[in-house]
Amino acid sequence: MQEIMHNKGCHFVLALLLTTLTAWADTPPSAAAPVDQSRKLQLAEQKSRLIETLIATPAMKKALEGKNPEAQGWVNISRTLLDQAKTAMQNEQPDEAIEMLDEALRSLSKASGALASDRIAGLLTRKKDFEEQVKQLDSYRRTLEEMAAVPRTSDSARRLIIQLDIMVAEGHKLFDKQKFDDALKQMTAAYNLAVAEISRLRAGQEVVHSLHFASPREEFDYEQKRYHSNEILVGMLSREGRAQGEAKGLVDGFVKAAGEMKEEAAAKAASNDYPAAIKDMEKANQHLNRALQLMGVAVF
């Protein structure tokens, strides 16, 4: 938590500093107070050192890694302008140097804005993934509530409900603290526990899923949500290294086949051929289920 607050603080300070310096860059010198060449060179050197410091900050270094092309572009522009300004200072051309340095500051400000937008987009994606996992676990909880009404599975189902509620609550706490990766791992652990224990409790029973949809479009939307949930889980388990060597190649193949089938389903749905689109989505989910099984997840 302390590290997160530190990072947020660093981004805030950087943004505030860039805003202040950009405003400074946009303020023309007073005509009533002419500045001599030496003072102008001194001012250019100060701005040059400030820009070098800003480019060396963790946020700008991250931009140069290339994960955000827009931010990377603005930082590279500022570096080029900085080099040109240094050449101008060596040639004792302070006015040209200051103009280039001011433009470099504006470029860094734009890079900071692009990074901020990237962070917001990442947060929204994680929030969506987390919410999908919560929905999936809610559906399993309803299944367990039904099993709790059956004498043979009642005690075990009730204990599992309590255990899952504790794990899900912890996942929410982690997410609220902005420990997004830990929150998603916690929800994945809860998911794995749920599917494994429900499968165990249902051993020897005929599993029948009775789902009723108001329209083919509603059923198609359900299959898409199921696909997205499975896709999240496959991605997380892959990043954890659950598939190695030959298994990884098989998992990647199933994921690719699932994606292609999903695109075909979307095309058919766009033509209002929902029955065919639903069949394609079911096949897509089967591919993802096979990938999950290869990584040790019980799927039913």
Of the listed ranges 26-35, 68-77, 125-134, 191-200, the one predicted with least confidence:
26-35
Residue count of the chain, please give it: 300
3-class SS of residue 272: coil
pTM of the full predicted structure? 0.44
Structure tokens at 208: 């029948």
Q: Are 66 and 72 in contact (CB under 8 A)?
A: yes
Confidence of residue 156 (pLDDT cuts 50, 70, 90): confident
Buried b (16+ CB within 10 A) or exposed e, 134-163: eebbeebbebbeebbeeeebeeebeebbee
Structure tokens at 10: 């660093």
**Ranges of H-type helices in 177-215:** 180-201
Per-chain mean pLDDT for the chain: 79
Condensed to tens digits (0 to 9), the pLDDT of residues 11-40 reads 444 544 555 445 445 445 444 344 578 888
Give the model's pLDDT for residue 276.
95
pLDDT over 90 (residue 270): yes
Question: Is pLDDT larger for residue 78 or for residue 268?
Answer: 268
pLDDT over 90 (residue 127): no
Mean pLDDT of the region 196-204: 73
Q: Are 164 and 190 in contact (CB under 8 A)?
A: yes
Contacts of 282 (CB under 8 A, 6+ apart): 223
Residue 50, Cβ neighbours under 10 Å: how many? 17
Domain boundaries, the chain: 2-27+37-120, 124-201, 216-294
Q: Which of 25-29, 148-152, 282-286 has the highest mean pLDDT?
A: 282-286
Contacts of 76 (CB under 8 A, 6+ apart): 64
pLDDT over 60 (residue 273): yes
Mean pLDDT of the region 286-298: 84
Mean pLDDT of the region 66-94: 85
Mean pLDDT of the region 157-162: 86
Give the model's pLDDT for residue 66.
64
